[in-house]
Amino acid sequence: MELRKDPITRSWVMTGDEASEPKPRPDAPCPFCSDSTTLHVIAKAPNTPGAAWSARSVVHPTPLYHIEGEPGRRGDGLYDRMHSVGAHEVLVENPNHDRHLWRASDEEIAHFLRLAAERILDLKRDPRIKYVSLFKDYGKNAGQEFSHPTSQITATMFVPRRVLYELRAGREYFVGKERCVFCDIIQQEERQAQRVIEVRGDYLALGPYAPRVPYETWILPRNHDSSFERTGLNKPGLRMNLAALLRRTLQRVRTVTEDFHLVLHTSPSSLHPSKNLGYWKTIDDDYHWHIEIMPVVPSKAKSYTFKEVYYSPVTSETAAKQLREAKIEG
Ligand SMILES: [Zn+2]
Ligand SMILES: [Zn+2]
Ligand SMILES: [Zn+2]
């Protein structure tokens, strides 16, 4: 597999003619449950009573990115390509096979969040890494890979397109107003109270003004902070509030659909201030970390893929009201 850059949109895509992988036998034991010796464990979160670990990070069994080697970025006429050098880890959220984030305790989720923060920080120390993504796909319509409660981390030598757009837009807004666009959104949303789903301590869940899919939901810190890993590591009280809000928000989303994508957007590695790309200069002031949850509502997902204009047949006001009032477990 290699990475190629679209010369028009400047986004990187991974492509290659890969041999199809052997499918695991349906009766094979879950590799993430036990102390399987086939896994390459990278880090563990502290023990909880009765368990050897509460969350842990392992090398992805079939990684898309490999930590060895150099990117070997090179041109081919007007095109750009490089090897898929980076890191690809599975974050096992919980030792128990069925304790998904919406069923786990806040302590368990907080352990997972702390481990995620540690892994992001550690990967950002690699001078080759520009960005670390944390994401989760759940449900068969969302491309879920493992049945065990897991998220995944990729560390790449480029900033993914959506984050790049956000960084550029955040910086442009900041240049004009000397304010963070996310902070301004939060202020207006709290004032208007139409798209806010829940406030929990220093965190807020809301339906974005212009949703890409029905019931799209963001979770943000209410106080300005560009990097998740800073909060995730330093403030245990905050982590518990975030854990509770994440759990409750996923419970709400699950009253609409089981399948969802979740992605964490945090600031890129600041080890690499770029000379030509302006967005690194004020990043701590103009970027604001957040979690995006994109529910997959199959019958309504039809229109946008071809036209590339997002189409959401439910407004965020209606969606937020429905999610706010949803009966959840607590
Ligand atoms: Zn399992
Ligand atoms: Zn902000
Ligand atoms: Zn984002």
Q: Which ligand is nearest to the CA of 287?
A: 2
For ligand 1, the distance from its centroid to the CA atom of residue 116, given in whole angstroms, is: 19
Q: In what order do the strands lie in the sheet with 290-295?
A: 41-44, 56-59, 87-92, 150-156, 131-138, 260-265, 290-295, 217-221, 203-206, 196-200
Cα(287) to centroid(ligand 2), Å: 6
- Dist. CA 189–CA 183, nearest whole Å: 10
Distance 290 CA to ligand 3 centre (A): 6
Per-residue pLDDT of the chain (330 residues; tens, 9 = 90+): 889 999 998 889 989 887 776 676 777 888 898 666 678 888 888 766 777 788 999 999 999 999 888 888 889 999 999 999 999 999 999 999 999 999 999 999 999 999 999 999 999 999 889 999 999 999 999 999 999 999 999 999 999 999 999 999 999 999 999 999 999 999 999 999 999 999 999 999 999 999 999 999 999 999 999 999 987 777 778 899 999 999 999 999 999 999 999 999 999 987 766 665 555 678 899 999 999 999 998 765 555 555 667 888 899 999 999 999 999 988
How close is the Cα of 175 to the center of ligand 2, in Å? 14
pTM, full prediction? 0.92
**Tens of pLDDT, residues 298-309:** 765 555 555 667
Question: Which H helix or E strand runs over 253?
Answer: helix 236-253
Instruction: Give me ligand 1 centre to Cα 264, in Å.
Output: 23
Contact 148, 30 (CB under 8 A): yes
The Å distance, Cα 284 to ligand 2 centre, comes to 9
Q: How would you classify the pairing of strands 203-206 and 217-221?
A: antiparallel
